[in-house]
Amino acid sequence: MKKRKAAVFLWFDTEAEAAAEFYAATFPGSRVDQVIRFSGDTPSGPAGSVQVVEMTLMGLPYALLNAGPHVQPNDAYSLQVYTEDQAETDRLWDAIVGNGGEEIMCGWCKDRWGFRWQITPRVLMDALSHPDATASARAQTAMMEMRKIDIAVIEAALRGEPQT
């Protein structure tokens, strides 16, 4: 395995390996690279239990650490995933929410381990940066009403079509 120079660390209580397997199965370009186990008993786990899972998450290096309940995820960290179409948006959203997660607003959801995800269609990012400020504002307003992003509604808002 190639030696990494840096990785994003995500802290878990005891489910780093389960999370890594879920992320690897859910997100393209993801895989579990290595599972490191405790060699002796520690406050974070007994000998032989999972300490760190190194993984590639959508092409980026991550390390998932079982560190006990001392540190919980918070809103200061989230993972943004850009999607190409509604089918991909629906699949990823439904995988996270349907696996013990929860819906939030404006394309945000939370996985069962407490990490926030932004499932963001590229169409939305294009709409929010549209050169027509009025059209962009309509798309922004439409997004603020949603949980999971509905691409057809964003495109209609850009065109100035009334919301139904």
Q: What is the pLDDT of residues 24-70, one digit of tens each?
A: 999 999 999 999 999 999 887 899 999 999 999 999 999 999 988 88
The pLDDT tens digits for 109-131 are 999 999 999 999 999 999 999 99
Distance CA 105, CA 143 (A): 9
Closest CA to 139 of 119, 120, 158: 158
As a dihedral over the C-alpha atoms of residue 29, residue 24, residue 83, residue 94, rounded to 10 degrees, the angle is: 160
CA 138-125-118 angle, to 5 degrees, is 105
The pLDDT tens digits for 69-111 are 888 899 899 999 999 999 999 999 999 999 999 999 999 999 9
As a dihedral over the C-alpha atoms of residue 10, residue 12, residue 18, residue 19, rounded to 10 degrees, the angle is: -40
| pTM attached to this predicted model | 0.91
